[in-house]
Amino acid sequence: MEHETLTREFMGLTFDLTTVLVTVASCIIVFLVVFICTRNLQLKPTGKQNFIEWVIDFVNNIVSTSIPGKRGDRFKLLGFTLFLFVFVSNMVGLPLVLVIDDIQWWKSPTADPIVTLSLAMMVILMSHFFGVQEQGFKNYFLNSYIRPVPFLLPIKLFEEFTNTLTLALRLYGNIFAGEILIGLIASLANSFGAVTWLVGVPLQIAWQGFSVFIGSIQAFVFTTLSMVYISHKIGHEETVEHKEYVEAS
């Protein structure tokens, strides 16, 4: 089910125009939805404001589960943006997969491993950055790689790369497989004209419904794991406080 994509060279870099198009489109959709929902903010919320506050509360809960207290506040916007971007990216490929002359024009950006790997790399790099910022380089290094036992150092270094890969490829695999199946069901439905539509359309409806479910779950998982990785890099003070709290209570 692999199709050619439209590529352009620009300033010595090659850009996959399909990915650029759907990524920017997802960003615009996210921005428009959030922008429209946050007009006319009221102290007593109604309708669309309720919806966006529900989303914010949902993401805030994800963040504060991994990074409790005030320290989690600075990551809430990141979690919010990640969640909405990944969710919308998972969804945009469901109603429409556009292939013209074997060139793919429209799909989910998250069905492209480069997009998911970029996001995962960004999250992992941020986790290291915030780890150094919160604890200083020495403590960051000790807590990340040396403690509790030094001989785990190679495994811990290796883990940084596997984290990135699993975070990205889990999302990519789910969405890419979903789109492949959508394409397969579509070609099945078209294999013998209108007769096979009777089978294909209900099947497609069911699979798209399931894909909505998978896309939501994957957006949730991606955001949750991003916050867990960040909390692993910055969270050592918090565990001390937590222990003290547990002992005190």
Partner 1 sequence: MMFNQLVIGSATSAGNTLVVLVSFLILLLLLKKFAWKPVTEMMEKRSETIANDLDGAKQAQKKANELVAEQQNKLAALQQESAKLIEQAQVNATRMEKEMIEEAKDSIAQMKKQAKMDIAFERQQALDDIKNEVSVLSLKIAEKLIGKELDTATHAKLVDEFIERLADSNETK
Rounded Cα–Cα distance for residues 221 and 226 (Å): 8
- Residue 135, CB-side half-sphere exposure with 13 Å CA sphere: 22
**Which phi and psi angles does 105 have, rounded to 5°?**
-105, -25
Residue list 63-102, contact with partner 1 (CB under 8 A)? 77-78, 80-81, 84-85
The answer to whether 53 contacts partner 1 (rule: CB under 8 A) is: yes
Stretch that binds partner 1, among 7-15, 126-134, 138-146, 211-219 (CB under 8 A): 7-15
- Least distance from C-beta 143 to partner 1, angstroms? 27
Nearer to partner 1, 170 or 204 (CB): 170
Q: How far is CA 41 from CA 33, 54, 81, 202, in A?
A: 14, 14, 19, 41
206 binds partner 1 (CB under 8 A): no
Find the shortest distance in angstroms from Cβ 134 to partner 1: 20
Nearest partner of 115 among 183, 169, 179, 162, judged by Cα: 169
Q: Is 117 in the site for partner 1 (CB under 8 A)?
A: yes
User: Shortest distance, CB of residue 7 to partner 1, whole angstroms?
Assistant: 7
Q: What is the rounded distance in angstroms from the CA atom of residue 183 to the CA atom of residue 214?
A: 17
Q: Is residue 118 within the footprint of partner 1 (CB under 8 A)?
A: yes
Shortest reach from residue 11's CB to partner 1, in Å: 9
* CB contact set of 131 (below 8 Å; sequence gap of 6+): 140, 143, 144, 233, 234
Residue 147: count other Cβ atoms within 10 Å of its Cβ: 13
Rounded to 5 degrees, what are φ and ψ at 189?
-65, -30
- Which of 92, 119, 225, 234 binds partner 1 (CB under 8 A)? It is 119
The yes or no reply on residue 7 touching partner 1 (CB under 8 A) is yes
Q: Which residues bind partner 1 (CB under 8 A)?
A: 2, 7, 10, 13-16, 19-20, 23-24, 27, 30-31, 34-35, 37-38, 41-43, 45, 49, 52-53, 56, 77-78, 80-81, 84-85, 109, 112-115, 117-119, 121-122
